[in-house]
Chains A and B, each alone.
Chain A
């Protein structure tokens, strides 16, 4: 048996390297699926929550929308107001005891993280929509767009750009917080570490490795998200096409896109 810190690290890496790797891969997979699905849930919830009924809408439509909005609010409150570790237990054991569904652990993980993230994303998207000038929505209506068309074509593209940092943050949170899924035996990196540590009772060394893995994951993706944000903030230049009389004159104009006239 090794008798130094680095000795143990080397030993554990050699013996459990595969487990660490597959655990990290699962953690990443859960974070990616959960964040993407949660983001889509958040967008859809926000679209429904911003529907405003027309003058001539019937009572049935009104009641249905009211009920839908109430349910969505309840969903957001409940999933933001309880810990994900508890949600995981409830979903996993609820499905098996009352629905007779023995969910594979990974499926349960995707489900729980997506729904949980969706609740947070719904609020983030709502904030993003509020950050878009109300005139944009009026203009969309004024050219005849429906709520859905105005949302998907005009409002959400602008809102998403504004909330991208928060969306990226949710992803980083998911990398870290998916560790709680070890309680339903999801083989993410924390669960793998616990198994590895138990054999030789080397908790410190194992979890030292685990924290390095988490840090590499979060650090890498934080940098990547920065890059994406930069890309999405758009080109600051455009081409002015010469007039008919001198169409060879094409001028590249650079102006600060934020610098309003």
Chain B
């Protein structure tokens, strides 16, 4: 399996506060890696370092063997997409234009091609009927599905999700998770920070448990959820599964 992401010794400090303390992780093509862990453990910071929304303080991140720090920023961001907890759809644009803007400006695609692609992915996430709606006119689940379509339009090789369902009302969680499942079936490589343990268990190829800025355990869900090795993983799972 070809390696898409390779992270070694990743450190991140905010002032004197060390948030990531030497992370090593590798993600293969087509893999779905779910990242779980207590709040404040550095999961978001880890994802944000991968596509350089945060600048790492140390370590190396390779994207298909290339050092991301040496890649042109636009290229990196087009290859490594991001879906946010708060959706962050462009509020001044319709759902369709959200999907078109990046293609036009960053990839320099023609208007026709951009719209064709946007329609294709909006259809895939079930948002085609709402293409003319602005973010403020959409529900949380609809916004997140449109945001996923926006990311897909850039033809990313990896898609990073930072708690894509945490800001959603419970009844909208499933519509977003089922969209993510279809992406897995399509073979897209994904890293997903999530608190949805049931989803991680059946959708992930690997689950990574993070605590206090470190990867504590990294195993297939069948192992990590059933027979976790590390006591911290055990304690975390005991706490979350009970709740």
Task: Verify A145–B102 contact, CB threshold 8 A.
Answer: yes
Q: Which of B109-117, B126-134, B196-204 contacts A (4 or more CB under 8 A)?
A: B126-134
Q: Is the CB of A238 within 8 A of B90?
A: no
Q: Which of A143, A149, A158, A239 contacts B91 (CB 8 A)?
A: A158
**A145 to B147 Cα, complex, angstroms:** 16
Partner of B74, one of A55, A138, A144: A144
Size bracket of the A interface: 35 or more
Q: Which of A138, A149, A158, A253 contacts B106 (CB 8 A)?
A: A149
Contact pick for B78, options A138, A143, A157, CB 8 Å:
A143
Measured CB to CB, the residues of B under 8 A from A are: 51-53, 55, 69-70, 73-78, 81-82, 84, 86-94, 101-102, 105-107, 128-134, 136-140, 143, 147, 150-151, 154
Q: Is A154 an interface residue (CB 8 A)?
A: yes
Residues of A within 8 A of B51 (CB): 142
Question: In the assembled complex, which residues on chain B have CB atoms less than 8 Å from the CB atom of A135?
Answer: 84, 86-88
A143: contacting residue among B70, B128, B140, B151, CB under 8 A: B151
Among B81, B128, B154, contact of A241 (Cβ-Cβ < 8 Å): B128
> Do A54 and B92 have beta carbons less than 8 Å apart?
no
A143-B92 in contact (CB<8A): no
* A157-B138 contact given A145-B74, A243-B129, CB 8 Å threshold: no
* Interface residue ranges, A against B (CB under 8 Å): 54-56, 133, 135-136, 138-146, 149, 153-154, 157-158, 161, 234, 238-243, 253, 255, 257-261
Interface centre among B105, B106, B151 (most CB of A within 10 A): B105
Q: Tell me which of A54, A154, A253 contacts B73 (CB under 8 A).
A: A54
A144-B84 contact given A158-B92, A260-B136, CB 8 Å threshold? no
Assembled-state Cα–Cα distance A225/B41 (Å): 50
With both beta carbons as reference points, the residue of chain B lying nearest to A156 in the complex is identified as B92
- What is the CA–CA distance of A207 and B188 in the complex, to the nearest angstrom? 74
Known: A139-B84, A146-B74. A259 touches B136 (CB 8 A): yes
Q: Within the assembled complex, what's the spacing in Å between the Cα atoms of A149 and B104?
A: 11
B89 partner residues in chain A, CB cutoff 8 A: 139
CB closest chain-A residue, reference B99: A143
Q: Are the C-beta atoms of B133 and A143 separated by less than 8 Å?
A: no
A27–B150 Cα distance when bound, in Å, is 48
Q: Which of A55, A56, A142, A145 has the largest count of B CB atoms less than 10 A from its CB?
A: A142
Output the nearest chain A residue to B56 by Cβ-Cβ distance.
A55
